[in-house]
Structure 1
């Protein structure tokens, strides 16, 4: 960071696009010139810059606007350390392979590691002239091609075959500039597309000729002096730069890595050592895209500046700042870390990526992308609760609710660019981190009123503070650093402020509290609260969820947020079944590596989860079904989220989708494998037989519902249970005990259905007979899962 911010102190910001720098101006890193007549880009490479490591970065300056294409405005591309090497009348861009190293070996050992994996030649530039220590090369062939991979993205999205049309492409002279420590090159690429797909046909001005702009930066790498790579620790929660270290002995793993972090050095190390809050020599500064409107700009600034308070825990003051972009500055210039405003045609993620020096893990630049669509989702959540608010309202305006989320959201994405990973157990630890995915904390207050007062956290949390201390506390030497980091990790363990990463927070995970989009100290608490909110909100739901004069079909997306208000907490509770907590333990750190969740908790969770998919819970009030018509002419079907049977809302498919999510979660392959394995270790644990009996007792073996509506939903639940049993019994990747016991219960179900008297409810009888046929087909070895009736799980945009 010190290196990049040095650019800001450069006296001259003059481009080299056809302009000769004044004699008193600092020499550019590499000169650059646009020859507009020949549509060429010329680099003027000083002899002194040959064979020196530089960093190439690329950013997609303009986007496709369609989330499915994965091409956003401000989306960062690749980065690579390279050097210019002269070979006769050519200059090559050569990249070493930093995935293989031997840092502790002698020169011969380092060479052996370097030669073990292939390096790359990225480009070859013909030399046009040579004078005054400068090599003028034609770099058009590299910078006017699809180095970003736009064409590949379109191909993967089935949007056609695309290639750059050089005759309709060019370099922007006013955005192509050279500075003492960075070079900026802006290419405008027109693609020729054959067989353009529907997204391009719908959203591009001309689907056969979309234009994408790619901004390239060539940046001087930071000096090694003053920055000490910090070793990765699985408990710290940092992204890292990993590599193979072949200088390790036979007692190693050949794996090594550094955490990714910015360079922060105190101006006054002596005062810092005494515990006096100290300003850094160069603060970390992010700039706001001028296109961000209010009230977002203020929310982004406030949420981003939460980190300034967090950095105080690491001994720094004024270490992190969010500012407006200076007038006239190019937001693509590598000297500015941008918080970018991204528009799409639908919901999608915001992203916090960064560029880092692969040699050390030092972060050198970021382009945060904040999507505008997220607030529409926040508004839908808020509006869906309005009918249940009562005469006093929700107590918080829609804008205040959305901006509270966007402050947290900005802090989250910036946290990634500071090096921090997701922490998906933080919500259950008193909101200990902004790096979790927060669901709004909504509760039912007195007189069945909805309470939004605690919807989102107003600041960063305890884990954020400890993590920043781990990554950014400054130490004068390596010995002090090792001791200091050990103290911080011991404090994390002593306070039990935990970190659980992405890969262990999925729906098939084993730690209930490590679940995305939940709030609460336990998933039992979360389910009780969210189901109470859902009950009150469904009972009150009516046309007040939309504005007067709005089309009634818009109630669809508002109601779906109400109907599925409890879905994520149910996902967390499901993980209790076959659940096992675990820690990223190191030998000697005092942590218990694994703990199987007690059997009583598993059984209680199973009961609660199955309660949520009983017909009475799946049913939609008739008055709500009658409120929501189909999309009228001129309406937008992308806002009609409820499943439909032609023109009417299909509550059976809606309820069947939720039942599918729950039953398939309970009978997930890995979950059932764990149930079988834990029972084999402890006879007090639940076994597969008990799990299947409990599910069947609450579905197929339960008394038939009494009303036609609930009977239809009960049939959907039974169908889902049958489908999932057939899936798992035929699952070659499932544990043998799992397959065999599920098959045993399929046969038991067959025998029970064969012994039942016909029911006057024809649809119920038809399901029984269909089940008998399908079970027989399974045992005959002719089962075809693709032919079973399925209920799709309805996705909702991230809140």
Structure 2
């Protein structure tokens, strides 16, 4: 079998101009001339050296760091992971912390005459070594040299080469430092101060090298003023030897969600490079393959192990460990038992060198930070997609997010949510599911925002259903709290949990197929599993980031956005009158009340946003060409029309329930009118955005009289937004604001005739649509403006007519 290699696996042989007398990897002979120019080993590595032995030796001689690299390590693939180990307060706006990965790359240490170079390898472009095009692939993927150091000496038996590497860690090499170009610009970083930058420690382990070093920068505007024009950070550099026996990659399929690595095969018979993706996953191989074949649950040769950070509070550790090991249920679906294990941090006696930055350990990091978030990154072998290591990051103040959300979305229904001192059992369960979600990412699973739309909305009001199936088929969805359940619904589950999609996806990605000796040999089996679930919405995948498919949205629940948001708003309306009581204590201020109330406003905005996506929305069902039916289908007109009706009633009417004076008089002197105007204007802007209107026009062409049209949208909006005009009623300040916003948005389109360079708008039907709507509205205002006896209302109608006239004059 011809060996498949990535890009230019032997590039250095043909491009370095090596002479036959030069040593190559695995050859301990040194040229006589080179040997005579070098110091002896004992002159370089003196008796004062502090040596650590492992993958290769590290020697600290005074403040000098030497690497003693065996010849048989040269030209082998090593994964280099750069992480921040210590960070100044406020750095990166709170989302950069100790443990944050800043780069990962594959490198090779290679010998060039009297130097050792560190080359950065690429495995994206591929060709067979014996293929004619291989020459072009390697010539057009020339490897960059990250670092170079002259050879200081050889070991006594000439089996290793010794280099000094201080400049690698004490000078600035962009590919391994912790300040991105964006932050460099933001903090006005001038330069690295080498006098305050140094190597702190070097440790060698059997398969990896760990270096800690401190970098100090001069900066005109550091994150905080008290930092005296200085940014000092501690970096950790991990170098891990990648396995020579590579894991068999698994080809990705966009119908099942996985993080992937792009590949380009230039040996393809297609009239282009063969572009494909492989999934990122841990390597799990059953200990007993024959038992595995018989369908027995078998432990993997090497399980996935996560350690808790020593900084993790003791009372939260059981919940963290449960969140990690919850995935064993999914791995059992793939035929493995005890596939993932959670461990407490080792004591000093058990492992004196344990470090969360050490690439040998996957750790759930507990970060003392006001940031309200959690993330689940991983490090993978770009050759095969094998995940090597992962660090989950939990920010301390993420507890605050869940405490607030639980009160806002479940306070009307669940007595446990009616306090800022959320019971430990409830907050612990939330933490457990957050950790499980982030571990899911670290196992290779991206967000599946489509999952929640698979369950009927009213099923989320059922105790039996929610306790068995959770809130969504996948914990990888954003569906954190059951806001659909109503106060009369008893014993329902309020917190998300793992679901059937998660088991299906893990089985698809991790089941070991012993009879398949290549990625291509697995395809039929993998495709069969997908087709077996086709048509069952519980097993569909959708990323949810394009804002087009209403079934793929963050934080939404159920298969009917209007019904779910109606339930959610009913609960919010019950929560608001109680917020002052639930968030305050005698002798304390109203800071918590203000925070929770403002977050409740965001929830209102989210529920409304879920409904907006239905207007001009298009359902996406991922399929391949061998499956019947269309991939894209416009949302039915009845659903779109119902969505606009909801928006007129809930988004554009004055939200009296939200304007609770008992709250507002405690948290602000003014601002409610402007805040509501801002929220309603954003809703209008989204509803009248260019792409949505163009989809409506396109759908009308494709569907004919079945479509909900752009003209219908504008007509329904006009009738809803200007209801007072048609009824001859007085308008309040909130309604006047949203009516002005409508005129301003429509006018902005028309005004683009003179100011815009957006040909897509200028040549579309949007101009005609907006001009026609403005003319119709002006005519209605002129005919009805004096029906109201309220003077300010009449002035308002006159003002709107003037605004329309100004916009329409654009064309004259």
TM range (shorter): 0.7 to 0.9
Structure of larger gyration radius: 2
1:700 partnered with 2:722:
yes
Asked if the contact 1:262–1:363 (Cα under 8 Å) also holds between the matched residues in 2, the reply is yes
Say which of 582, 597, 600 aligns to 1:559: 597
Asked if the contact 2:411–2:418 (Cα under 8 Å) also holds between the matched residues in 1, the reply is no
Q: 1:482 to 1:656 in 2, by over 3 A?
A: same
Q: 1:690 to 1:270 in 2, by over 3 A?
A: same
1:421 partnered with 2:459:
no
Q: 1:619 to 1:765 in 2, by over 3 A?
A: farther
1:258 partnered with 2:278:
yes
Q: 1:96 to 1:386 in 2, by over 3 A?
A: closer
TM-score by length of 2: 0.84
Q: Output one character per residue of 1:151-208: Cα deviation in whole Å (capped at 9) or x when no partner.
A: 43564662222432121122222xx211221111111112221x215x422xxx5241
Q: 1:252 to 1:231 in 2, by over 3 A?
A: farther
1:48 partnered with 2:72:
yes
RMSD: 2.9
Say which of 233, 236, 239 aligns to 1:212: 233
2:764 matched to which residue of 1? 736
Say which of 789, 795, 800 aligns to 1:771: 800
**Cα deviation, residue 392, structure 1:** 8.6
Please give the alpha-carbon distance, in whole angstroms, between the structure 2 residues aligned to 1:495 and 1:629: 48
Within 5 Å, which residues of 2 pair with 1:133-212? Answer: 133-146=159-172, 147=174, 148-153=176-181, 155=183, 158-173=186-201, 176-193=202-219, 195-197=220-222, 199-201=223-225, 206-212=227-233
Q: 1:444 to 1:547 in 2, by over 3 A?
A: farther
**Cα deviation, residue 562, structure 1:** 3.2
Say which of 231, 237, 250 aligns to 1:230: 250
Asked if the contact 1:325–1:331 (Cα under 8 Å) also holds between the matched residues in 2, the reply is no
Say which of 475, 478, 496 aligns to 1:434: 475
Please give the alpha-carbon distance, in whole angstroms, between the structure 2 residues aligned to 1:233 and 1:315: 21
Q: 1:723 to 1:477 in 2, by over 3 A?
A: farther
Within 5 Å, which residues of 2 pair with 1:36-435? Answer: 37=62, 39-66=63-90, 68=93, 70-103=95-128, 106-132=130-156, 133-146=159-172, 147=174, 148-153=176-181, 155=183, 158-173=186-201, 176-193=202-219, 195-197=220-222, 199-201=223-225, 206-225=227-246, 227-251=247-271, 254-327=274-347, 328=352, 329-347=354-372, 349-384=373-408, 394=418, 397-430=422-455, 431-435=472-476
**Cα deviation, residue 472, structure 1:** 0.5
**Cα deviation, residue 725, structure 1:** 1.6
Q: Output one character per residue of 1:291-347: Cα deviation in whole Å (capped at 9) or x when no partner.
A: 111433222211111111110000000001111222231111110011111233443
Greater CA drift, 727-736 or 277-286 = 727-736
Please give the alpha-carbon distance, in whole angstroms, between the structure 2 residues aligned to 1:442 and 1:561: 14
Please give the alpha-carbon distance, in whole angstroms, between the structure 2 residues aligned to 1:113 and 1:570: 51
1:484 matched to which residue of 2? 525
Asked if the contact 2:485–2:492 (Cα under 8 Å) also holds between the matched residues in 1, the reply is no
Greater CA drift, 369-378 or 555-564 = 555-564
Within 5 Å, which residues of 2 pair with 1:573-652? Answer: 573-590=611-628, 592-617=630-655, 620-630=658-668, 648-652=669-673
Q: 1:135 to 1:469 in 2, by over 3 A?
A: same
Please give the alpha-carbon distance, in whole angstroms, between the structure 1 residues aligned to 2:83 and 2:411: 45
Please give the alpha-carbon distance, in whole angstroms, between the structure 2 residues aligned to 1:593 and 1:337: 39
Please give the alpha-carbon distance, in whole angstroms, between the structure 1 residues aligned to 2:181 and 2:95: 7
SS in structure 2 opposite 1:244? Answer: strand
1:684 partnered with 2:706:
yes
Q: Output one character per residue of 1:344-366: Cα deviation in whole Å (capped at 9) or x when no partner.
A: 3443x322111111111111111
Q: 1:216 to 1:300 in 2, by over 3 A?
A: same
Please give the alpha-carbon distance, in whole angstroms, between the structure 2 residues aligned to 1:269 and 1:658: 59
Please give the alpha-carbon distance, in whole angstroms, between the structure 2 residues aligned to 1:76 and 1:562: 33
2:495 matched to which residue of 1? 456
Please give the alpha-carbon distance, in whole angstroms, between the structure 2 residues aligned to 1:372 and 1:179: 31
**Cα deviation, residue 621, structure 1:** 4.0
2:50 matched to which residue of 1? 19
Greater CA drift, 392-401 or 365-374 = 392-401
Unaligned runs of 5+ in 1: 1-15, 22-26, 631-647, 784-799
Asked if the contact 1:440–1:519 (Cα under 8 Å) also holds between the matched residues in 2, the reply is no
Asked if the contact 1:241–1:361 (Cα under 8 Å) also holds between the matched residues in 2, the reply is yes
Q: Output one character per residue of 1:227-270: Cα deviation in whole Å (capped at 9) or x when no partner.
A: 21111111120111102221112256531221111100000000
Asked if the contact 1:387–1:542 (Cα under 8 Å) also holds between the matched residues in 2, the reply is no
Asked if the contact 2:323–2:433 (Cα under 8 Å) also holds between the matched residues in 1, the reply is yes
Q: Output one character per residue of 1:23-65: Cα deviation in whole Å (capped at 9) or x when no partner.
A: xxxx622222233x3x332211112222222211111112344
Please give the alpha-carbon distance, in whole angstroms, between the structure 1 residues aligned to 2:155 and 2:672: 77
Q: 1:390 to 1:224 in 2, by over 3 A?
A: closer
SS in structure 2 opposite 1:188? Answer: strand
Ranked by relative contact order (alpha carbons within 8 Å, sequence separation 6 or more), the top structure is 1
Please give the alpha-carbon distance, in whole angstroms, between the structure 1 residues aligned to 2:74 and 2:318: 45
SS in structure 2 opposite 1:698? Answer: helix
Aligned residues: 727
Please give the alpha-carbon distance, in whole angstroms, between the structure 2 residues aligned to 1:323 and 1:717: 55
Within 5 Å, which residues of 2 pair with 1:704-719? Answer: 711-719=732-740
Q: 1:379 to 1:588 in 2, by over 3 A?
A: same
1:751 matched to which residue of 2? 779
Please give the alpha-carbon distance, in whole angstroms, between the structure 2 residues aligned to 1:523 and 1:122: 52
Asked if the contact 1:29–1:179 (Cα under 8 Å) also holds between the matched residues in 2, the reply is yes
Q: 1:409 to 1:18 in 2, by over 3 A?
A: farther
Unaligned runs of 5+ in 2: 1-46, 456-471
